[in-house]
Amino acid sequence: MKISMIAAVAKNRVIGKDNDLVWHLPDDMKFFKDTTKDHVVIMGRKNFESLPPKWKPLPNRTNLIISRNAGYDALGCKVFTSLENCFDYVKTLNQEEVFIIGGGQIYKLGLELADRMYITEIDAEFDGDAFFPEWDKSMWSEVNRSHHAIDEKHEFAFDFVTYDRT
């Protein structure tokens, strides 16, 4: 089973503020949707709660939530108190690839376990309170990069980048 992380990350590692995104990039949202569709997605409780009601749980995915609160309940999702317990469950599902989708604390926990990262590198810095963890680029090789310029729907340029652990 391949463990992948998928995130949109600003130049200063910001991934959000006040439990929300700080940018609007429709093509990045489409990339996320297309890449994670029909897969298991693992997220923290705050990340789940930040989703608009119409997207809870994320459709066409198995939604798994990590929460310290053992009594936390989310309709249509399975809840675990640790990433380890979550992966014990995921192993029973016989998945080729599973996705860690945030937020910052869950990315930090998942970084050591990840085999691949799909990072949308946004060519801008933002004020934020949630960050993607620092990571040693010498431990990863870039296997794909696709540039997206500023256009009428995207205020910022960005690159879709895939990294595999070396």
Q: What is the pLDDT of residues 113-159, one digit of tens each?
A: 999 999 999 999 999 999 999 999 999 999 999 999 999 999 999 99
CA distance 45 to 67: 5
Q: What is the pLDDT of residues 9-63, one digit of tens each?
A: 999 999 999 999 999 999 999 999 999 999 999 999 999 999 999 999 999 999 9
Is residue 105 within 8 A of residue 84, CB to CB? The reply is no
Please state the rounded mean pLDDT for residues 80-101.
96
User: Model pTM greater than 0.85?
Assistant: yes
CA distance 52 to 48: 9
pLDDT for res 164: 98
pLDDT for res 115: 98
- Residue 66's pLDDT band, with cuts at 50, 70 and 90, is very high
Where along the chain do its domains lie?
2-165
**Tally of helices (H runs) and strands (E runs) in the chain:** 4, 10
- Residue 6's pLDDT band, with cuts at 50, 70 and 90, is very high
Name the nearest CA neighbour of 42 among 11, 80, 13, 1: 80
| CB contact set of 98 (below 8 Å; sequence gap of 6+) | 1, 2, 3, 4, 39, 40, 41, 42, 90
Assigned CATH for 2-165: 3.40.430.10
